Amino acid sequence: MIALAFPGSTFDAPDRYALELLQEACSDMGSRLFLRIRDELGLAYYVGASNFLGRTQGYFAFYCGTAPGEVDRVEIELRAQAELLRVEGLSEEELTRAKAKMIGQKKIARQDLGHLALAAALDELYGLGFAHGDHDDERYAAVTGDDIRAVAQRILRPDASVVAIVRGKPAVVGEPPAAS
């Protein structure tokens, strides 16, 4: 498994919504990462993005499960995709799909009273106000392609990236596979 990570954002930063949409757009089976790295090149078991927001700066990462011998090729592809996002942002179709999915997921989550109570409590605890989440749909809908490009240019900087590689223990003939 390989992860290409960048310093991220905080949950109270204005660009948080653009960054969350960027993560969503890079995480489904129709994403450019999935189509290029898994479908076209056949280098991945799974591929996506992760966005961790916190009170202090979190992280944004691309990750990919791949064969040990393909790690270097996958790193090159992940870096190439990050650079494309820095330069071009998302297509209008990618942004529209990410907004629809994110807004839909939030609406479903708000139907669960436990989730709704937890979100309101955390928003209040973090100083955002208990009703902060009531306006998330509007905040996601308001994100533009320019907002995505701006956050990608700020976050996906090659000089600020780190790579983590997790390799399993090589199998020995006759032994059961090691747990990961």
Tens digit of each residue's pLDDT (9 = 90 or more) over 103-113: 999 888 888 88
Is pLDDT larger for residue 92 or for residue 116?
92
pLDDT score of 84: 96
pLDDT score of 86: 96
Mean per-residue pLDDT, 69-88: 95
Residue 171: pLDDT band by 50, 70, 90 thresholds?
low
Mean per-residue pLDDT, 25-43: 92
- Asked whether the predicted pLDDT for residue 170 surpasses 80, the reply is no
Q: Which domains does the chain have, with CATH numbers?
A: 2-100+147-165 (3.30.830.10)
Query: Are 106 and 100 a contacting pair, CB within 8 Å?
Result: no
Residue 102: pLDDT band by 50, 70, 90 thresholds?
very high
Cα 32–Cα 71–Cα 50 angle in degrees, nearest 5: 45
Task: Report the C-alpha gap between 120 and 125 in whole angstroms.
Answer: 9
Based on the number of CB atoms within 10 Å of its own CB, is 72 exposed (0-12), middle (13-18) or buried (19 or more)? Answer: exposed
Task: Report the C-alpha gap between 113 and 12 in whole angstroms.
Answer: 23
- Asked whether the predicted pLDDT for residue 119 surpasses 90, the reply is no
Cα dist from 45 to 42, 57, 70, 74, whole Å? 8, 30, 11, 11
* pLDDT tens-digit map of 38-61: 999 999 999 999 999 988 999 999
pLDDT score of 176: 64
